[in-house]
Amino acid sequence: MTVESCIAFCDGAGYIFSGTEFAHCDSTIQVPSQPAALSDCNVACDGNSAETCGASNRMNIFTNGKPGPVIPQTLASGTWSYQGCFTDIVSGRTLGVPVNIPGGVTVESCTAACQSLGAFANAGVENGRECWCDNTVRAAAQRVSDNDCRQICDSNHNEYCGNANRIAVYHFSASGQPQAPPQCLNNDIGNFTMKAVYKDGVTPSVKLKVVVAEMVRGATWTVLSVRLGLSFY
């Protein structure tokens, strides 16, 4: 290895930084790396003894000067906006619907998939290569620093795609602006008067009849029929 061969390899792979120690590439310098004295990098390169290639626990870092990766705040379509970096665990996913994307995960491909597969309101990228969709964000999820969501997307080195156990969440809205989470209705609607809001537990408690609303549309008319089901919850 030489400095030149390391730089050429990393640059050809689309990375911004190259480091000579055992030959490393990346598009961001990982925390908590700290600058060290240049004299600490004093081991000669195997391929060129006139050059130094880091040392034990020391790395010479070079950059091609290209802009670093970012967390997109609003996508070009204007309909998806960044909501933040959230915690995520296997036993209780922040967003519950995993999506496999041929060709790899980017912020754009994930949001597009969530919109087309089921018109989901939320999309999230995680661990550099995962895409998740859902209409709600799990209540137990905690918003954390955006710095926690700084793993580069495997399929786009110019973007971050969450991190391990960290998911970057985007929300869909026609205006591209964040929307408040849905709330339980607490007002009258037309000829229907609001009487009460019941709190129901995980186990069946308040029995409700199933009401199926069926919409039949024509060119200039709409018929809405309602029938009562026989099931109870």
- Tell me: pLDDT of 131 over 90: yes
HSE, side-chain direction, 13 A CA sphere, residue 75: 22
pLDDT in tens, 77-96: 568 999 999 999 888 899 98
pLDDT averaged over every residue in the chain = 77
Between 12-21, 62-71, 131-140, the lowest mean confidence (pLDDT) is in 62-71
pLDDT at 226: 46
Highest mean pLDDT among 51-65, 175-189, 191-205, 209-223: 51-65
What is the model's pLDDT at position 124?
A: 95
- What's the mean pLDDT in 157-172? 92
pLDDT tens digits, one per residue of 93-117: 999 899 988 889 999 999 999 988 8
* The pLDDT value given to residue 180: 47
What is the pLDDT at residue 42?
A: 87
Q: What percent of the chain has pLDDT over 90?
A: 25
Query: What are the E-state strand segments in the chain?
Result: 17-20, 24-26, 60-63, 80-87, 97-99, 122-126, 130-134, 143-144, 152-153, 156-160, 166-172, 209-217, 222-232
Please determine, for residue 205, whether its predicted confidence score (pLDDT) is greater than 80. no
What pLDDT sits at residue 191? 63
| Whole-number pLDDT of residue 78 | 66
Q: Which residue has the higher pLDDT, 203 or 54?
A: 54
Q: Are the beta carbons of 101 and 128 closer than 8 angstroms?
A: no
Residue 185 has pLDDT above 80, yes or no: no
What does the pLDDT read at residue 231?
Answer: 39
* 86 touches 66 (CB < 8 A): no
Percentage, residues of the chain above pLDDT 70: 68
